[in-house]
Amino acid sequence: MAIATVNPATGELVEEFAPHTDAEVDARIGEAHDAFLALRGTEFPERAAWMRRAAELLEDELEGAATMLVREMGKTIAQARAEVRKCAAGMRFYAERAEDFLAGAELADPAAVGASRASTRYQPLGVVLAVMPWNYPLWQVIRFAAPALMAGNTGVLKHASNVPQSAVYLDALFERAGFPAGSFRTLLIPASGVERVLRDPRVVAATLTGSEPAGRSVASIAGSEVKHVVLELGGSDPFIVMPTADLDAAVATAVASRTTNNGQACINAKRFIVHADVHDAFVERFTAAMAALVVGDPMDEGTQLGPVATASGRRDLHELVADARDKGAVITTGGEPLDRPGWFYPPTVVTGVTPEMRLYAEEAFGPAASVFRVADREEALRLANDTSFGLSSAVWTRDAEEEEFFVNGIDAGAVFVNGMSVSYPELPFGGVKDSGVGRELSAEGIREFCNLKSVWRG
Ligand code: NAP
């Protein structure tokens, strides 16, 4: 796959990049390693000042950065601006909180271990490889980079091949803000180049956000090198609607949760599991609201749904929908790629999905929703958990006991009650089952790439 920016709204090539040679990759890892030796000697306040400066730069350049995101992967300009702002907020969060999160602790009773004093402290590990996806080209990287750099680690980034402009922008950002040169280096390499980087002894750990096959591959290489790995993989999040739900709010949130980021977020709701008492009303209103979305040029302020990011992504999505239709599912709106330049796919609602259909088990990465009818809460929970994924989930109910039933019972990294799954710097983010291992964001996220050192003094 070429390392190139291709505008998904038009299909036109915007810019192509030559991949780095092995020698260039080695030199860049060397820079990141040298930067680590410098960065580990700095104090939190110094790093926090640089991180805040990086956040300011991003905000100063908001319009240019947002336009770059639209051109690289087709999200709407409003959502692109929101992504840039979220990055700046995440950077400030870690500038503010990193020192507290990594404070370590004194053992209250050191005599219990025969010491005069015993304590723990978190220390940085070194150069961490980040393999990142294209769907949030800045935010996915920042939510790794901000805690990593605040902890004193440095990073090398292998970004998705279709967002090289974002990758190059990020390469410069931290250095411009004052971090030692090389603290964050982009490697313009194909996926096949990841193994060589991960086996480099100067690279001590890896984080991958992306698909399950990519995660399995990187985890097996990291395992063979005994290197720590964090994986944030796919999801097919359930969105459960029970009879006591506020149906208007549930429908509006269902639409937003299925179509935000043009339906290409790992935590988009993808499977709508609706109690029989409200199923028909939900389908009717959900279909109408999905069909009413304004699909168009993502640079237009009024557009609500832009294109799918790549030609192959649209093909994969349509294959899932067509397979369901061919096996008897009913499509209440959408269902055919739009006949216009670019990779547009309409908001699509599929009902009557059964286990024989690929859509039942596979992640639909685009604006296609599956709706299921269930008889009771037990069936709703069984269906919610009948997936290899376990990233996030949402439950709509106003019955407190029922709420607790789902919050306890759903196998996922998060449950949102009467709301929509969103990532917040304050909350741990990650999955169970095939959705990944480890956590990003919050205190847990910054501690993932630290050495928790025990100190015993006699
Ligand atoms: P992808 O194909 O797995 O690509 C993600 C990154 O991994 C890219 O940089 C890609 O490089 C690289 N890659 C692909 N195969 C690899 C391999 N065998 N070894 C090493 N690196 C490899 O995923 P995607 O299609 O871009 O992104 C969509 C997926 O990401 C969805 O499943 C989505 O749910 C998931 N996702 C998860 C989260 C989360 O936090 N859990 C967040 C966002 C997205 P190339 O581009 O060069 O192929």
Domain boundaries in the chain?
A: 4-233+433-457, 237-417
CATH number, span 4-233+433-457 = 3.40.605.10
Catalytic pick from 31, 72, 175, 266? Answer: 266
Q: What is the best residue among 83, 209, 268 to mutate for testing ligand 1's pocket, by most ligand atoms within 8 Å of CB?
A: 209
* Arithmetic mean of pLDDT over the chain: 98
Q: 246-255: per-residue pLDDT in tens? A: 999 999 999 9
Pocket of ligand 1 (CB under 6 A): 1, 131-135, 140, 158-161, 190-191, 194, 209-211, 214, 217-218, 232-235, 266, 363, 365, 391, 431, 436
> How many angstroms separate the alpha carbon of residue 73 from the centre of ligand 1?
14
Sign of CA dihedral 86, 92, 96, 98: positive
Instruction: Please state which CATH class domain 237-417 belongs to.
Output: alpha beta
Q: 431-455: per-residue pLDDT in tens? A: 999 999 999 999 999 999 999 999 9
What was the pLDDT predicted at 309?
Answer: 98
Asked whether the predicted pLDDT for residue 1 surpasses 90, the reply is no
What was the pLDDT predicted at 386?
Answer: 98
> How many angstroms separate the alpha carbon of residue 35 from the centre of ligand 1?
27
Q: Is 266 a catalytic residue?
A: yes
Catalytic pick from 31, 83, 175, 232? Answer: 232
Identical fold between 4-233+433-457 and 237-417: no
Q: 303-322: per-residue pLDDT in tens? A: 999 999 999 999 999 999 99
- % of the chain residues with pLDDT over 70: 100
Average pLDDT of span 380-404: 98
Nearest Cα residue to atom 8 of ligand 1: 160
Q: Is 448 a catalytic residue?
A: no
Q: 38-65: per-residue pLDDT in tens? A: 999 999 999 999 999 999 999 999 999 9
Q: 84-122: per-residue pLDDT in tens? A: 999 999 999 999 999 999 999 999 999 999 999 999 999
Determine the Cα–Cα distance for residues 52 and 17; give it in Å rounded to an integer. 30
**Total Cβ atoms within 10 A of residue 198:** 22
